Structure 1
Amino acid sequence: MLRQGLALAGAVGLAACATVPASVESQAFAPDCPAIDKFLENTVMEGRTVGASTLVWKDGREACFESAGLASREDNRPFARDTLLQIFSMTKPVTGVALMQLWEQGRFGLDDPLYWHLPEYKGLQVATGIGSDGKPVLRDPSRPPTVRDVLRHTAGFSYGDSGEPADRVWATVDPLSADNTLAEFSEKMAMVPLRADPGTRWIYSASVDVQARLVEVLSGMTFDEYVAANLFEPLGMADSGWKRESSDLGRLARIYLAGEDGGLEPMPREDWLEANFAGKPMTMGGSGIVTTVDDYMRFARMLLNEGALDGARILEPATIRLMSTDTLDPRISPGDRSWLTGKGTGGFGLDFFVRTAPPMSADENRGTVGEFFWDGLPSMLFWVDPGQDMAVVFATQKIPFDNALHRDFRIAVYGTDYAGVPPE
């Protein structure tokens, strides 16, 4: 399951009151870097994580870089600015940007049926139960999934972890095996029945790996080569990629697993080493990028600048606005949005959570209307806050995903009284 990079949902309680005076609601703010530094230091001292760093960019300049603790406790190596990080599902927005470049070039339409471009998905069916023979009971879907569905997790696909009937097939074919190419993944993914009719549920899934295969088919390049040539190189992200050199181990942060007693133990590296150094063919669209806070901030700054950075145009402003606009059908009830509702008051655009209203309760994370973001399994987080002209990257390497850590970090950034309405 770790290889799938599931960023488990959520925002949980915080002490701030969601209702504040109108004079505060539209108040601009400046990040309190000493408060952020103190938060990181306390987090390490309290044993909530072994090490962490954060980079805040605001109003066209770097506002804060802070770090604390160790990238590798076993080597007594500090969590530094050039520490390499496994970001897991923060790979997903990169994949979405790559695919939307091809959309701008007219290679596909968002409402094209997926099988127009990947014929293996023609004839998909929905699993509704398990028959007496132990096999899924199938029916035709109300419509085929579209590329837009694939971009917003409404295709009905699975991640193999639901316990629903479709996942019996997933377990048999193992689409995301590191031994598969993306082409082989896609063929096997197409064997797995849908969990729901397209467009009716938000289901976090391997759909972003399907996006990666679309990039390959539409561009004629391997996925990682396309991303390197069209995102990483133009953005100057020289420290970012899937496959790494053995010399990188000296900069790679260890992932720590939290035990039931709260202790943090290093996760064995064998699986990562095998996938990254042993020539395994899989390059996932939903996970796998290794990067630094500076490199990922360049990606975030491009998004904040509506698609451009330092003279490199990656996407058009209208495309960034499309991706960062909630596009979920209002008929998809909260109960059919899985854990997405735990991330705040909002919905989903194209590979991003999108905040659509200020925090509605005292338990909801601080954030600004219009912000968009995603996170990653080892408690990684980034967000883009256009209303405050700000982008933030928070880096740590702790599993399981720590919702409370993100809650408290956002308090450190915004303060307890921030109501979530940007200045006019």
Structure 2
Amino acid sequence: MDPLSADNTLAQFSQKLAQVPLLYEPGTHWSYSAGVDVQARLVEVLSGQPFDSYVKQHIFDPLGMADSGWKRDEADLARLARIYVAQDDGTLEPMPRDEWLKANFMGKPMTMGGSGIVTTVDDYMRFARMLLGEGELDGVRILEPATVQLMATDHLDPRIGPENRSWLVGKGNGGFGFDFFVRTGPPLDAEENRGTTGEFFWDGLPSMLFWVDPVQDMAVVFATQKIDFDGTLHHDIRDAIYGADYTGAK
């Protein structure tokens, strides 16, 4: 079915995905999925607008995120930060990207809910600060505080044990809200990344990370471009910010 092909529209994606069997019975496992892309299609159906147009009108433009969007042209390629691939000898080699980007994003109809936005660190930080402000930044309200709180609440059934949470358990002592890992308790040991109970975050393929820590009134955008995913970078930046001995207590 290939529902996530860049040649599909979100409407075509949703129709194809509906024909793909579920991996598990609902409520029994957490698995990384196309759920955020389903959310994007729901936005289209409920609003009557294409997803990218809705996000531009209701999020990007009000927040002043003028450099963010899905649809890019070839002139943007020169501005993209280079991704580097770690070699066996420890050196970093630039990842070939021009043909891949053209094939997957330039002029393609898919506007995924879970990926595909090209942006800048400054724009990303404005989005993170909006979440820190419980949906508001610089007098502009994007979300209601209750909505952000719902997003940042662990919704996993406690009966879904660590063995049924895939690699989510490696991200720390917590669960999953609406599109975020949510920390529900302090770090359990010295190996776990430092952080505060109540923080929420997500990361990305080239070792990228951003998080929002309401207790510390702090938002962080950690922009890295390294493949394979390097969790030691996240451990080190959190040690540098919180201190290696931080307990994570409120």
Normalised by the length of structure 1, the TM-score is 0.57
- 2:34 paired with 1:206: yes
SS of the residue aligned with 2:215?
helix
Q: Percent identity?
A: 74
Aligned to 2:190: 362
Unaligned runs of 5+ in 1: 1-172
For residues 321-359 of structure 1, give each alpha carbon's deviation from its aligned partner in whole angstroms, at most 9, with x where no partner exists.
Answer: 111011111011111111111111111111111111111
Matches within 5 A, 1:393-404: 393-404=221-232
Aligned to 2:246: 418
Matches within 5 A, 1:172-191: 173-191=1-19
Aligned to 1:323: 151
Structure 2: which amino acid aligns with 1:334?
P
Aligned with residue 119 of structure 2, among 273, 283, 291? 291
Aligned to 2:85: 257
Aligned to 1:240: 68
Q: CA shift at 1:263, angstroms?
A: 2.5
For residues 74-98 of structure 1, give each alpha carbon's deviation from its aligned partner in whole angstroms, at most 9, with x where no partner exists.
Answer: xxxxxxxxxxxxxxxxxxxxxxxxx
Aligned to 1:271: 100
Structure 2: which amino acid aligns with 1:262?
G
**Runs of 4+ displaced beyond 3 Å:** none
Q: CA shift at 1:416, angstroms?
A: 1.3
Aligned length: 249
Matches within 5 A, 1:110-189: 173-189=1-17
Aligned to 2:209: 381
Matches within 5 A, 1:298-317: 298-317=126-145
Q: CA shift at 1:261, angstroms?
A: 2.8
Q: CA shift at 1:209, angstroms?
A: 1.0
User: Does structure 1 retain, via aligned residues, the 8 Å contact 2:6–2:105?
Assistant: no
Aligned to 2:54: 226
Aligned to 1:391: 219
User: Does structure 1 retain, via aligned residues, the 8 Å contact 2:105–2:116?
Assistant: no
Structure 1: which amino acid aligns with 2:43?
V
Structure 2: which amino acid aligns with 1:318?
A
Distance 2:230 2:57 in 1: 34
- RMSD after superposition: 1.1
Q: CA shift at 1:400, angstroms?
A: 1.5
Unaligned runs of 5+ in 2: none
Structure 2: which amino acid aligns with 1:368?
T
Q: CA shift at 1:373, angstroms?
A: 0.5
Q: CA shift at 1:202, angstroms?
A: 0.4
Structure 2: which amino acid aligns with 1:275?
N
Aligned to 1:282: 110
Distance 1:236 1:292 in 2: 12
SS of the residue aligned with 1:387?
coil
Q: CA shift at 1:188, angstroms?
A: 1.2
Distance 1:263 1:284 in 2: 33
Distance 2:8 2:223 in 1: 29
Query: Rg: which structure is higher?
Result: 1
Structure 2: which amino acid aligns with 1:227?
V
Distance 1:312 1:357 in 2: 32
Distance 1:276 1:204 in 2: 22
SS of the residue aligned with 2:212?
strand
Q: Which has the higher contact order (CA 8 A, sep 6+)?
A: 1
For residues 199-257 of structure 1, give each alpha carbon's deviation from its aligned partner in whole angstroms, at most 9, with x where no partner exists.
Answer: 11101101111111111111111111111111001111111111113322232111112
Normalised by the length of structure 2, the TM-score is 0.96
